[in-house]
Amino acid sequence: MEIYQLRVFLEVAKYLSFTEAADALNLTQPAVSAKIRSLEAELKTSLFHRLGRRVELTLVGQYLLDKGPELVNLEARLTQEIEEIKRGKLSSLKVGCISATADHWLPTLLFRYRQQYPQVQTQCVQFNWPDQLHRAITSGEIDVAISDLSFSGFDEISETIIDTIQYSLVVSASHPLVKQSWLSLKELRNQPWVLPPEGFPNRIILDKRLEELGINWSSFSKVEVADSPNLIRTYLLEGYYLSFASNLEFQIEQQTNLLKMMPLEEFALGTPLFLLLPKRFSACLESCHQPSLNKNQELEPIQNFVKLAREGIQPFGKGMTKNVRGDRSIASQTTNSAPNINQSSHPLITRFQSPSFQARSHTAQSATTPTKTLTLTIGIQNHTIQTATAGLIMQRLGLLEHFLPREGRYSGTQYQIQWWNYSSGAPIVEGLHSKQIDIGVLGDYPLLLSAVQQNIETLAETRLISFVASNPDGAGNDVIVPHRSLLNSFEDLKGRVIAVPFSSAAHGMMMRSLYRKQLLDDVRLTSIDTLNPHSANKRTHLVDGYAYFAPFHEIAKHKGGFRRLLEGDRDRLPTFHGVVVQQALTEVYPEVVVAYLKALLAAQYWYTTNPLAPTLVSRWIDLDAAIVSKTLYVEGQNHAEGIFFPETQIRLDWINEHIRQLTMITGNEHLSQINLDRWVQAEFLEKAMATL
């Protein structure tokens, strides 16, 4: 079928007359009839019913009339672009987007683009629905697009992250909730909500997050649907409703102090903003990184736009700024200095994963997929602040639920997550060995205890997959004594009784320190019932002091009545905490292990970049924020003694030194059985960092 034949057909179909079509085409009627007969012969079917001098379309003819103009338009557009390429460049650029970016984010980018490339005619094409944006990209209606939904499921579209946007609760500036600094969706079920219709990008993002967390809109007392931003604005201002929006929306209302954006626990991280290109243009992304190799002059307008977009942009008209996107390699820390963690140097800029637009088109199919339940039991220590990113924060922000796999063999999987909170590591080790706990967060000494089976084959094997926090100077474990005590050094402990949580990091420190000072046989270590400082006050007549791991010694000092022994006596071996998992979990569900580590990295990024993090953590566990900040490093804090630094890299040299020193002590010889090559599996962390 030739395009010219199709043009002739469309004219005849338009007029339903060979004579009028011939006049319009400036041809003879026999020539028009010949073209139609030739086309019908190629298609092997009739396109018209001939009723004397009158003609009517057949079913095939009607279909060709509906679809034919698309081919004609495509041919015209290709011809035009070829001519522009022959002249050396495209002369126009069409950018597609959804309404939120069209109102605030994109105009600043287009303004700068026009200032730098005034010879290119730019056009912003706005769409209300993601499927409209998809059709525009694939049909060639637009050259490039900006989206807050992922289109990675479509082979004909390439995407790259160019910025991060933040989703939040939006309320009237006079709403009582604005007095709070941090909110959770679970606390807002009795409030009235107004939302855009299903299918809007921000509604897709909100609904997907609620599905991850097992929250249903039916549990909310009142939910209204509004078809336009103006109607949502009215609900917010006049009815004290709540809504959900990105920081790209309602900018004028925020600037005029009519509406406020409130942080939500469930959206503690940002979400990506994507630049979308037809695959046929995707090569220009690579050439943007290597201008000297750029030979695609015909694609200059697209390449230049991509380059500006990848540099990033601050919304609200604050001008352009370079977008920080850390590399995905594991950061190596080979010195004993504290890591410099901040938003510009952090090895990962962690975001929530954006919902895929394509995934929505398979909702009906996935609904029929058989469901299975996978239970994950995680042993954590919420009051051990240095491990907060591996448990407490992950749990409060719902990070593990977000990163758990839900596609492929995990389609239809329902996750049941059980967070078991303990005051020390010993019961976590026991739970790992008895297969009651799948993932455990432990300090250095119990971490090593989890690696050995002590010749009991029924004990489950574990694997070390990541560190959580560390202190290269050995801080984090201390001996405290009552203020009135005459004890001032480890030497003074001779003949004394010290209470310690057995099989804890503090226990390991005490054994090493006493062994080094040749006091191990002269100091009696007894088990402590609880790490609660209030109980410690009641037991001072039974023991001479207490060995604690952070932050419990700091809590006791803070509440008064206790002081540390001379810190110069403390063991200086680097201290660390890590994550161990059941060997079976790594073999049967490796993707779940990677998901947990993604959630850990996300929690660490949130804690080290959010100024409110220590305050929120202190609120969640009812502990003074100053102790939280001192225990786990936060940006801008001086490096004081006793703090831990968020750290995921596994330090084999530290582990080996712990094993070497401990195996010299009676009762710890079995630690020499640990096969580090088998036990340490850093590849899961590498995979997590590479896929964030």
Strands (E), 105-242: 121-127, 144-147, 157-165, 167-172, 192-195, 222-225
Q: Are residues 171 and 263 in the same domain?
A: yes
The answer to whether residue 61 sits within a structural domain is: yes
Query: Residues 98, 76: one domain?
Result: no
Sequence-distant (6+) residues with CB within 8 A of 582 are 432, 435, 437, 438, 439, 460, 461, 462, 463
Give pLDDT tens digits for 595-619. Answer: 999 999 999 999 999 989 999 999 9
- Residue 322 DSSP symbol: P
Per DSSP, the residues of 99-148 read HHIIIIIHHHHHHHHHHH-TTSEEEEEEESSHHHHHHHHHHTS-SEEEES
DSSP codes, 544-588: SEEEEETTHHHHHHHHSSEEEPPGGGS--S-EEEEEEEEHHHHHH
478: its two tokens: 């201390």
Q: How confident is the model at residue 170 (pLDDT cuts 50, 70, 90)?
A: very high
CATH number reported for the structural domain that contains residue 119 in this entry: 3.40.190.10
What's the pLDDT at 330? 28
CATH of the domain at 244: 3.40.190.290
Q: In degrees rounded to 5, what are phi and psi of residue 242?
A: -110, 150
**Dist CA 683 CA 671 (whole Å):** 23
Number of Cβ within a 10 Å radius of residue 124: 17
- State whether 131 and 231 are in the same domain: no
Specify if 365 maps to a domain: no
Considering the domain boundaries, does residue 295 fall inside one? no
Query: What is the DSSP secondary structure assignment for residue 183, as one 8-state letter?
Result: B
What mean pLDDT is predicted for residues 503-522? 93
Compute the distance between CA of residue 380 and CA of residue 442 in angstroms, rounded to an integer: 8
Cβ 378 vs Cβ 420: under 8 Å: yes
Whole-number Å distance between alpha carbons of 141 and 465: 48
Q: Is the pTM of this model over 0.85?
A: no
Question: Please, what is the Cα angle at 364 between 359 and 370, to 5 degrees?
Answer: 95
Residue 600: enclosing H or E segment and its boundaries? Answer: helix 590-609
pLDDT 10s digits, 646-685: 999 999 999 999 999 999 999 999 999 999 999 999 999 9
Amino acid sitting at position 398: G
440 part of a folded domain: yes
Q: Is 94:142 a contact under the CB 8 Å cutoff?
A: yes
Q: Would you say residue 290 lies in a domain?
A: no
589 and 467 in a single domain? The answer is yes
Residue 366 counted as domain residue: no
Please give the Cα distance from 284 to 393 (Å, whole number).
Answer: 40
Distance between CA atoms of 135 and 112, rounded to whole angstroms? 27
Closest CA to 403 of 106, 68, 56, 692: 692
Per-residue pLDDT at 3 exceeds 70: yes
Residues 450 and 599 in one domain: yes
Of residues 362 and 161, more confidence is placed in 161
DSSP string, 633-659: --TT----TT-BEE--S--HHHHHHHH
Q: How many CB atoms lie within 10 A of CB 521?
A: 10
In 497-563, where does DSSP find H-type helix?
Answer: 505-516, 533-538, 552-559
Confidence label for 622 from pLDDT (cuts 50, 70 and 90)? very high
State how far the Cα of 460 lies from the Cα of 553, in Å rounded to an integer: 33
Torsion sign over Cα 649, 650, 653, 655: positive
What CA–CA distances, in Å, run from 577 to 120, 388, 440, 468, 469?
56, 11, 10, 5, 5
- Amino acid making up residue 304: N
The residues near 455 (Cβ < 8 Å, ≥ 6 apart) are none
Query: Is 545 a member of any domain?
Result: yes
Look up residue 575 and give its amino acid: T
Range picked from 96-100, 394-398, 453-457, 570-574 for highest mean pLDDT: 394-398
Place of tokens 């209302």: 253
| Alpha-carbon gap, residue 126 to 441, rounded angstroms | 48
CA–CA dist 508, 547 (Å, integer): 10
Spatial CB neighbours of 27, under 8 Å, sequence gap ≥ 6:
8
Between the alpha carbon of residue 22 and those of residues 6, 19, 46, 49, 64, the distances in Å are: 14, 5, 19, 18, 19
CA distance 67 to 250: 40
pLDDT tens column, 244-267: 999 988 988 999 999 999 999 999
The CATH number for 76's domain is: 1.10.10.10
Domain count for the chain, please give it: 5
Helix (H, G, I), strand (E, B) or coil at 301: helix
Residues 154 and 278 in one domain: yes
The two three-digit tokens of residue 48, written as one number: 């018209």
Mark whether 632 and 686 lie in a shared domain.
yes
- Are 468 and 616 members of one domain? yes
Same structural domain for residues 231 and 377? no
The Cα-based distances of 441 to 293, 317, 423 in angstroms read 49, 45, 12
- Tell me which long-range contacts 204-207 makes (C-beta under 8 A, separation of at least 24): 204/130, 204/149, 204/355, 204/357, 204/360, 205/148, 205/149, 205/167, 205/271, 205/354, 205/355, 206/167, 206/244
- Answer yes or no: are the C-beta atoms of 659 and 674 closer than 8 Å: yes
The predicted-structure confidence for 37-74, as pLDDT tens digits, reads as follows: 888 888 889 988 887 777 889 999 899 888 888 888 88
* Tally of CB atoms within 10 A around 647: 24
Q: Return the closest-CA partner of residue 147 out of 168, 166, 161, 135.
A: 161
Q: What token pair was written down for 119? A: 């010879």
Q: Are residues 159 and 277 in the same domain?
A: yes
Q: Are residues 438 and 518 in the same domain?
A: no
Task: Evaluate whether residue 218 is within a structural domain.
Answer: yes
Which of the four pLDDT bands, split at 50, 70 and 90, describes residue 284? Answer: low
Rounded CA-CA distance 532/676 in Å is 35
**Claim to verify: residue 551 and residue 666 sit in the same structural domain:** no
Average pLDDT, stretch 113-139?
89
Q: In Å, how far are 260, 274, 518, 553, 586 from 384, measured between CA atoms?
A: 35, 38, 30, 11, 26
Residue ending a domain, among 54, 87, 120, is 87
Q: What is the pLDDT of residue 457?
A: 66
Please give the Cα distance from 378 to 581 (Å, whole number): 9
Q: Phi-psi bin for 191: left (phi > 0), alpha (psi -120 to 50), beta?
A: beta
Over range 112-122, report the average pLDDT.
Answer: 88
Residue pair 27/17 in contact by the 8 Å Cβ criterion: no
Q: Is the pLDDT of residue 640 over 60?
A: no
Residue 510 CA to its chain's centroid (Å): 39
Higher pLDDT, 569 or 88: 569
Cα separation of 389 and 610, whole Å?
Answer: 13
Give the domain extent around 549.
Answer: 477-530+541-564
